[in-house]
């Protein structure tokens, strides 16, 4: 089936949704309903393909991740200043919270009572975040692809491209990193890059000679990646008709933008499956923990799934560093930039960049959607 036909099918589906979706809209960040709807067969198939799960295992994992997402803020508050980070453990199906060794017995009990497992660590999340902030204030050489706090390892992880490991500038940066706090150096095979692409007919939107993907609908438009265009740039849809303009855009430092919607276009609370999986309803933007499953929709490679590897990572693109990105094991390719990252029915962020492809694998980062909403005062369109 040709791509154009797939888009027409998807848009037809949105017309049917549009008549009732507005009535059920709720503010951004609304809690997941207690009786969460079953995941669509297409989403379960994508998780089965990319995570090696059966449909039953995928259903069980999504349910466990919903619970972990709800537990995390309570457990964090219970840990207080002893909080060392958190992650979802796919084997136990529970949230694990790191707590510093000086925490009192009452603090440990409070974290367990909140519903989390406890692991004792040396460094608090505040200490590790402070070390990362010191690195964020420096300029990294191209051989350094990024850095982040790894709560499970209780250290700051710096990724270095293998071919540049012995470079003098890279070694100087690593010296600064070690002076800032506990550091683990990880060798990666390639540097990250953004996933914009040249114009291809029938894709979600394009501006100039760049093609990108729609992220999530907000009231008045949609959010996407900042590297796709600057403020004022005109946007056309899959059929070549005018949609609107970039009203806000930031890249590098950040990688987010929002586009106004008009001229007969409208917004609906769905993530497109592009004929590969059924369209997914968006019901909120609760943040999935590290270790949770996550899926991505993009105009080039459609649906792919993986897991959340890290949050608040600084990624060093050739155009400059971008901060506070979330790292995933999901693959992506040029043209997927700006597309949707979703966990269950909760919006997570818009595709920024990565390395690799969907044939041999790779890693991809996204800009968290809640940061975009807060930056521009937008409200996520939810079902």
Q: Looking at the annotation, which residues are catalytic? A: 227, 255, 337
Give the residue among 314, 74, 58, 55 at the shortest CA–CA distance from 177. Answer: 314
Q: Which residues contact 38 (CB under 8 A, 6 or more apart)?
A: 59
Nearest to 248, CA basis, from 160, 127, 373: 373
Is there a contact between 215 and 226 (Cβ–Cβ < 8 Å)?
A: no
């Amino acid at each position: 089936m040709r791509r154009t036909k797939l888009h027409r099918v998807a848009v037809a589906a949105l017309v049917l949704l549009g008549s009732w979706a507005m009535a059920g809209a709720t503010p951004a960040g609304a809690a997941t309903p207690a009786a969460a709807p079953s995941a669509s067969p297409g989403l379960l198939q994508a998780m089965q393909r990319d995570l090696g799960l059966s449909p039953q295992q995928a259903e069980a994992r999504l349910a466990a991740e919903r619970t972990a997402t709800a537990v995390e803020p309570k457990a964090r508050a219970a840990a207080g200043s002893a909080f060392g980070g958190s992650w979802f453990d796919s084997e136990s199906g529970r949230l694990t919270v790191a707590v510093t060794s000086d925490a009192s017995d009452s603090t440990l009990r409070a974290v367990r009572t909140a519903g989390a497992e406890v692991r004792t660590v040396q460094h608090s999340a505040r200490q590790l975040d402070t070390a990362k902030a010191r690195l964020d204030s420096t300029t990294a050489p191209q051989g350094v692809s990024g850095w982040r706090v790894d709560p499970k390892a209780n250290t700051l992880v710096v990724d270095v491209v293998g071919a540049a490991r012995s470079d003098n500038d890279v070694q100087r940066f690593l010296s600064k990193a070690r002076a800032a706090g506990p550091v683990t150096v990880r060798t990666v095979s390639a540097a990250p890059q953004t996933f914009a692409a040249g114009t291809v007919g029938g894709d979600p939107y394009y501006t100039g000679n760049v093609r990108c993907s729609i992220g999530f609908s907000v009231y008045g438009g949609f959010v996407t990646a900042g590297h796709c265009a600057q403020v004022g740039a005109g946007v056309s849809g899959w059929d070549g008709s005018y949609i609107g303009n970039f009203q806000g855009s930031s890249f590098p430092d950040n990688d987010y933008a929002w586009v106004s919607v008009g001229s007969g276009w409208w917004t609906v609370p769905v993530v497109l499956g592009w004929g590969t999986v059924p369209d997914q309803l968006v019901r909120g933007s609760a943040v999935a923990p590290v270790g949770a499953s996550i899926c991505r929709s993009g105009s080039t490679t459609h649906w792919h799934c993986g897991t959340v590897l890290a949050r608040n990572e600084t990624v060093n693109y050739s155009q400059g560093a971008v901060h506070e990105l979330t790292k995933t094991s999901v693959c992506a390719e040029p043209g997927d930039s700006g597309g949707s990252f979703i966990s269950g029915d909760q919006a997570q962020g818009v595709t920024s960049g990565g390395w690799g492809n969907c044939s041999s694998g790779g890693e991809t980062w996204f800009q968290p959607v809640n940061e975009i909403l807060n930056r521009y005062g937008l409200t996520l369109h939810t079902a």
